[in-house]
Structures are given as structure tokens and as C-alpha cells.
Amino acid sequence: MIDSLLLVFMLIATLGIGSQWIAWRFRLPAIVVMSIAGLLAGPIFHLINPEEDFGDLYRPFISIAVAIILFEGSLNLNFKEVRGLGKPVFRIVTFGAFLAWILGSLTAHYVAGMSWAVAFVIGGILIVTGPTVILPLLRQSKLKPTPAKILKWEGIIVDPFGALVALFAFEIIIFLSADGRDFTALLLFFLASIFAVFLGYLFGKGIGWMFEEGYIPEFLKSPVVFGTVIACFTIADEVKHETGLLAVTAMGITLANLGISSIKDMRHFKENISILLISTVFILLTASLTRETLLEVFRPEIIAFVILMLFVVRPLSIFLSTFGTDLSKQEKTLVGWIAPRGIVALTVASYFASVLADAGFEGASIVTPLTFALVFSTVVIHGFSIGWLAKKLGLSSEGKPGVIIVGSNRFSVSLAKLLEELKIPTIVTDSSWEKLSKARKEGVTSGHCEILSEQTEYSIDFTPYDYLVSATEFDSYNALVCSTFVPDFGRNNVYRLSTQSHSGDAVENIDHTIGGRVLFSKEDGLEDLIYKINSGYVFRTTTLTKQYDIDAYKNDREHQTIVLLVIKQSNQIEFVTEDLEINAVAGDKIISLTPPSKEFNKIREKLSERETNKSESN
């Protein structure tokens, strides 16, 4: 056991963020990696026991972390964006969530042996799938638009409400199970809940007003939001325990619907702080588990509960809630199977486990192992089965990484057309209908939007796309687009064209850490590429073989040829940049912009071959 509290802090942070990195690097579910790391550090090797190490600070830290995580989820609930999502989504997040709560609660009571109070609390918590687990799975599996949209929005909308359903269920069950029913206590709870909602609304409106009026400088916005969330949670929770969760949820929803320009910055802040907290809290929770708790996971009633939740409760709630909608049987089957519970579910369940245990309810001791068993099982099983099942049901795209091209012009449309011919998902976006007409005329997939608008992520499904290329005529705009989407795509997958020598907006010497990676070379800006296409340059696809390798290709190509990208046999795309050497092997495809003389020579050779064949046949 580590004696130094400072070393414990260091180990928890290192394990949490390190697990996230390993999950990203090797395309694994983050929650699985963090579970293994926490269990190794805690109950297996006994390096740390956070509950003992932190003492009285343990529960307050978990409570604040849960509050910030719920605030993050509620900040996604913009009612304007939710409208018009379609009948299946609406039915699933309302009637479907209610059915899942009732069926899950009945299963927890009759199968897992929990008391009614504990069963209805845990049933409410476990309706949550959550964007932190479902969005990475969607990106990985490349689902078709309809099932991807349903799973995505179910996670976003239901995420903040699982804890609130559990909260109200807890208070009402306490009232109903009391020997002498005190209506005053229930009335006080509802009054405290109204106060919490009003407090969250007031804090949200206040922060929004201060941001809009410029009373808070940019560098203080994130700290102010962070401090305000903690203050909102603490005040409400001091008035009535557990209502702090309701307050921060109301605050997040209020901010999400104010339409203020700083909402994008706050989303980036909450994503960053939420990842840090989720990583830390999950290591804290798993490391605090005892071996006895882990062994409880294998109790027959817990295993039976997990099996019924997987194969009965989820499919039944989806099939009943979507009855009469236009979803196909294949779509219902996929959505009815995929429901990975995540870190939010386990964190909130651990929070309520201590509350239920303090209240003396039967079954509170198995809340944590039961939730851990369901979370771990669903993440592993659904994470590794979603791609296979989607392909079997015909609901998967081909799985090739897609490309978003910002800016509709002769070059971008021609490149997009070629990529689509190679079965690579590609979309050209532009805020101008006139410019976008070029893409529509060529039959290229297009999207009319301002890519920097916060509404775009709801009007365009980003799931099929792994790369972004900004190719507008404005150099500064290209740099801004790339900088904005680095957190979403990663710095190595965001590209822009070189600054233009004549018609650009004179942006030079952009720092290499912003603006995205520069494609091709400094000489090949948009104006140069369009000029070459107008001069007869054509796009060519060259497949390398063992006989015709990369060296032969380099020797054979003309000096003016611009190598654009390499499509690997694994379907990964490597765009050519100034600092990247062309690396291709047999089976890889090289996409290039080739001078017309090369094509004329090819045509001349083919005609010559035909003449030779004719003369030999005669």
C-alpha cells in the first residue's frame, strides 16, 4: 500500500489518463482499460485504496464529480436541436425509457433480490447509455444514418435524466415505505426540488448574461463555469440532500438553450474537464472495490440480472416503444441490442449506493457490484459485437474512413468525386448554395451548412468521417476550421491547403500547432490546383504491385505530378504533406494529379498497341 497521498494522486491521474490514451491508441473501449487499471491498482495488488486514503474527502469529491458530469450531459440538450428528430427517437427516449425503468426495476427486485426502494433507484440509473460510451462505438462501427441517429440521440437525451429518475424514485419510495407517512417531508422535498431547478436556471441565466455582456474575459470563462457548477450543486445540496444533481442539470439545460456565442467554448471546456474527472473517478471507484465485492459480481442472481437486462429488458422496451414506427426489423434488432452503460451509470450508482446504505435499505450493498457487472458486460459485449451485428443486418457502411471536404470548388469536387468512386464516404460542405451547385451537378454528396456553426454537428452526421480537409479560398478560414476540429478528429487527421500566393487573404507564417497540417506543398495552393485542373491535369489512381513498387512509381511519374494521398490496403488514408515521405507498398493505391502530357502518352501507347495488334492479326 502506498503511504504518500501525493503519490496516490499521481498514480490515479496517470492510470486514468494513461488508460484513455491506450484506449484511443489501440481502438479499445476506454471503460474496459480503466476497469483493468483500477482493479490492478486496487483490489488485486493493493497499491491504493482511495476510500481509505482520502477519508472524509472521498464522498464529497465523488459528489462534485457526478455533478460536473451531469452538467456536461445536460449542456447538450438544446430543445431546438431535439425537435424534429423523428417518431422513433421520441418514442424511445420517452415511452422506451419509462419501460426500461419499470422492467429494470422489476428485474432488480425479483431476480437480484433488492428491496423496492433500491430496485427502483437502480432501475432509473440503468436507463442511461450516455454519449461517452455510445459515440465512440458509433464512430468505430460506421452504422448507417438511421440506427446511428437513434443511438446517438438516445444517449444524449436520456443521459442527464437517469440520475433524476433515481432521485425522485428514492424520495417517493422512502415516503411510501415509512411507517407513519409524513406528507410534510414529501412536500418539503418537492419544494426543495423546485428551488433547485430555479437556482440552476438562475445560475445559468446569470452566467449567460455575464458572458454576453462581456463582464467575464475569455481566459476566466472556463474557471467561472467550473466554480459556478460547484456552487450551484453545493447550495442546493445543503438545502436538501441529492437535489444538487437536479440544480446542475437545470443549469446545463438553461445554458444550452440560451443561444449564446460562448456555448461552443463551454462545450470544449466541459468535454476536457469531464474526461479528466471521468478518468479519475473511474479509477477511484474500481480501485476502492474489495475482492469480496468483485466476487459478488459472480453471484447467480447478479449474473441472471445482467442476462435479463441484455436479452429481455432492452430488446422488449425498444420493440414495444417503436411499435408502429417506420423502423425495419433489422434496425429494431440492432437498437434493441446495443445499450452500453458507461461511467456515468457506475458513478451515479456508486453515489446512490452510499445514500441507500446510510438509509438502511436491503440490497444496497450489491448496488455497486451489480452496476459494475452490467457496465463491464455491456461495454465489452456491445463494443465487440456492434460492428459484426451491423454487417449481418445490412446496417453497416463499408467501414472505410470517410473524408469531410470544406469548400466547394473545381478541385474539391473533383477530388470528392474520385474518392466516392473508390467507395470512400465523402461529403463536400459549403455555406454558399451557389458554390455547392458544383458538387450537386457532379452528383457528389454535399451538405449546405456553416461548418463552424454549433448546429452543424446535428445537421450532419460526423460518424462516417475520420478526416477533414479545409479547401476554401480563404486561408485564414481554413486555419480556423482546422483549429476548431482538432479536438474532434485529432491533429494528424485535419488538413488545409497551402496559403495562396495571389488570391488568398495573405495569411503567412501560421504557427505549426494551429491551423491543421498543410497538404501537398507550399506551391500547391487552391488557385494553383484549380489552374492545373483547368489546364488539363487529371486525377489518376495507381495501384502498386510487387513488380511496380514505389520506387518504380517515383521514377516513372512526371516531375509536375502532385501526389495527393495514399489509400492503404487497410483502407486508412495517408494524405501527402510537406513533412511526410510517400510510403506505399504493394496493394496500396496512390492518388495523384497528373499533367495532361502523361495522359496523352498513355493514349498514344494504347493506340500504338492496337495498330500493332491489327497488323499482326492481318
The DSSP annotation for 59-103 comes to: HHHHHHHHHHHHHHHHTT--HHHHTTS-HHHHHIIIIIHHHHHHH
pLDDT at 308: 94
Q: Total domain count for the chain?
A: 2
CATH code of residue 453: 3.40.50.720
Whether residue 108 lies inside any domain: the answer is yes
The predicted model gives 328-344 an average pLDDT of 87
Residues 370 and 413 in one domain: no
Rounded Cα gap, residues 140 and 292, in angstroms: 35
Residue 201: how many CA atoms within 13 Å on its side-chain side? Answer: 6
Residues 376 and 412 in one domain: no
pLDDT at 101: 92
Whether residue 25 lies inside any domain: the answer is no
Is pLDDT above 60 for 604? no
pLDDT tens digit string along 490-513? 788 888 888 765 555 555 555 545
Under 8 Å between Cβ of 246 and 71: no
Residues 420 and 290 in one domain: no
Domain assignment of residue 211, given as a range: 57-392
Residues 341 and 488 in one domain: no
Of 341, 357, 392, the residue that ends a domain is 392
Of the candidates 514, 473, 509, which has an alpha carbon nearest to the alpha carbon of residue 494?
A: 514
pLDDT tens digit string along 303-330? 999 999 999 999 999 999 998 888 889 9
Residues 446 and 378 in one domain: no
Whether residue 118 lies inside any domain: the answer is yes
Highest mean predicted confidence (pLDDT) among 94-103, 110-119, 170-179, 282-291: 94-103
Residues 224 and 128 in one domain: yes
Residues 425 and 347 in one domain: no
pLDDT tens digit string along 395-407? 876 667 888 999 8
How large is the angle between the packed helices 58-74 and 263-288, nearest 10 degrees? 140
Residues 424 and 374 in one domain: no
CATH code of residue 105: 1.20.1530.10
Residues 431 and 377 in one domain: no
Whether residue 209 lies inside any domain: the answer is yes
The predicted model gives 521-542 an average pLDDT of 82
pLDDT at 107: 94
Task: Specify the pTM.
Answer: 0.69
Residues 379 and 481 in one domain: no
Of 342, 361, 392, the residue that ends a domain is 392
Q: Which three cell numbers stand for residue 400?
A: 472505410
Of the candidates 59, 68, 77, which has an alpha carbon nearest to the alpha carbon of residue 245?
A: 68
User: What backbone torsions phi and psi does residue 472 show, to the nearest 5 degrees?
Assistant: -85, 175
pLDDT at 598: 57
Whether residue 190 lies inside any domain: the answer is yes
Where residue 529 falls among pLDDT bands split at 50, 70, 90?
Answer: confident
The predicted model gives 50-76 an average pLDDT of 82
pLDDT at 305: 94
Of 372, 392, 412, the residue that ends a domain is 392
Whether residue 20 lies inside any domain: the answer is no
Whether residue 452 lies inside any domain: the answer is yes
Whether residue 90 lies inside any domain: the answer is yes
Mapping DSSP to helix (H, G, I), strand (E, B) and coil, where does residue 105 land?
A: helix
Residues 345 and 471 in one domain: no
Residues 328 and 458 in one domain: no
pLDDT tens digit string along 108-160? 999 988 888 888 888 988 888 866 677 777 766 777 778 888 888 888 778 77
In whole numbers, what is the pLDDT of the chain averaged over residues? 81
